[in-house]
Structure formats: structure tokens, C-alpha cells
Amino acid sequence: MKTNTKKYIVFTIILMVLVVFIGFVEKKHSEKRLANIQVKVNAIADVYFVDEKEILEKLKTEFPLLNTGISMTELNFNKIEKKVENHPFVKNSEVFADLKGNVWIEIDQYKPMARIVRPMAADGYISSEGIILPTSPRYTTRVLTLEGAYAERLLQEEDLTEKHSDILELIRFIEKDEFWKAQITGLEITKKGDIKLFQQVGKQVIEFGNAQDIEEKFKKIMLFYDEILPAKGWNTYSRVSVKYKDQIICE
């Protein structure tokens, strides 16, 4: 009986200490004032579409009270995060405060891996996740270009991962391989999805066919580079087709 009584007393004391501690922390938090706002954009090579100063200016326009000295209790971190994520190139944001009263806004960017080119309208990017992004008047980046009727239709989508996974797979294959990323500069995709590849070195247009059997077709293109071109010369052919199974057609 005495043992149970002692346990109850100890539990009550611990609970009281915890309540006092929580109250102390909440009081300190309510007294804390905003010291500074720091925006950090996590770097990706050759991607500068999210500007720290631009983000900060937009936040101060949207939240006029967001100034040094404001009580931290006045800040709604969820609303700040949602506003930051309205930027088309912001993939994710996290807003948090440190013990000194600084508010940190940490941003992950979308990385463009291809650019859809339209002669009569604005271009757009495809991110590495398959998300359609607008272009920026401030920055550009060197990526694979897509053109043609099919490519232009892609800009009507928001996310290509479901309906156009084959095209995404082809773009990713080129993006991830250092040689093909340097050698293949653009794709032309017709309304029916027939693809032509354009090269950095070599005048030949490579008829790729649809975005199927990707690895096999690139092996045939490499065979063309390694065995046919050295024997016949770089300027012998203007058209190369790898669209048919087990065939390389050169004209």
C-alpha cells in the first residue's frame, strides 16, 4: 500500500514539474520577437530560377506585419510555406525558427531537364519529376530541347508521369548518360509520337521511332558511331534510322 502511495506522489510531482515547464516554455515563446528572416535556396548546378531576394520581397508584400520585432506568435508558418510554394520553381519549402529568433525559409527547387520550344507561343520546361514549368524572364538553362506538334501538346498538361511516361523515360535516359546528354541536343516529336534526334556532332538526323525499346535503340546508334562512321566517314549519310527492330538504315 505504501509503495503505491509513493508511486502516486512521485507521478504527481513529475506531472506538476512538466506542467510548469510547458508553461515556462510557452511564456518564453510568447515573449520571443522576430530577429531576422533568412531565405536559403538549396543549390542545384545551373539552376537559379528561385531568387532569395524575390521570395523575401513577395513575402513582405503578402504579409505586411512580417518585420523585425514582431511577436513570434503572430507568425503562421503554414501560410508562409504555402505562399513560398506558389512559386512555380519551388518544389518544397520548410519554415522554422531558431532559438535566437531567426526565421529560416529553406527551399528545394525543381530541376528542368528539357525545354519545350514553340515558335508562336511561350516555351516551357519539363522538370526531372515530369512537372511542366514556365520559363523565366530572368534565367535560362541549357537542357535538351523538344519541338513538334506532340511536344507542344505536352504544355497543356501539368504532370507527365501518367499519360506520357514513355517520353519521360527517353528524356531521363539521355539526361542521366553523360555521353548522350552532351551529344543529343534536341528531339522533334510529330503528332503521332514519331521521334527524331538531333546531334551536337554530326549532321545526320536520327530517326528514333516511338519512345519504346530505348536502350536497344541507343545501342544501335552507338554501333553506328563505332563501326559505320569510321569506315564510311561522318559526312557520308544524312539520315539514320534505328526505329525498326534489329536494323540500322543509313542513307
User: Edge-to-edge strand order for the sheet containing 102-109?
Assistant: 36-41, 102-109, 90-97
Average pLDDT over residues 4-10: 60
Q: pTM score, two decimals?
A: 0.81
Return the pLDDT at 23. 44
The DSSP call for residue 60 is H
Return the pLDDT at 64. 85
d(CA 144, CA 146): 7
User: Edge-to-edge strand order for the sheet containing 205-209?
Assistant: 132-134, 124-127, 112-116, 144-147, 184-189, 195-199, 205-209, 239-241, 249-250
pLDDT band with cut points at 50, 70 and 90 for residue 145 = very high
Return the pLDDT at 246. 83
d(CA 241, CA 251): 9
From 239, 241, 242, 234, select the one nearest 251 (Cα to Cα). Answer: 239
Average pLDDT over residues 199-215: 92
9-34 residue pLDDT tens: 655 666 655 544 444 444 444 457 88
Q: Spell out the residues 6+ positions from residue 36 whose beta carbon is closer than 8 angstroms to its own.
A: 68, 101, 102, 103
Return the pLDDT at 31. 59
- Identity at 249, one-letter amino acid code: I
Highest mean pLDDT (candidates 24-33, 55-64, 140-149): 140-149
Return the pLDDT at 13. 64
φ/ψ (deg, to 5) at 34: -70, 120
All cell numbers assigned to 250: 543509313
63-87 residue pLDDT tens: 888 888 888 888 888 999 999 999 9
Average pLDDT over residues 43-65: 88
pLDDT band with cut points at 50, 70 and 90 for residue 3 = low
Return the pLDDT at 5. 64
Residue 115: is its pLDDT beyond 90? yes
Please report where in the chains the cell 515556462 appears, as a residue: 24
User: What domains, with CATH codes, occur in the chain?
Assistant: 36-109 (3.10.20.310), 112-250 (3.40.50.11690)
Per the CB < 8 A criterion, the answer to whether 136 and 49 are in contact is yes
Per the CB < 8 A criterion, the answer to whether 209 and 217 are in contact is yes
Return the pLDDT at 137. 84
pLDDT band with cut points at 50, 70 and 90 for residue 150 = very high
pLDDT band with cut points at 50, 70 and 90 for residue 231 = confident
Residue 195: is its pLDDT beyond 90? yes
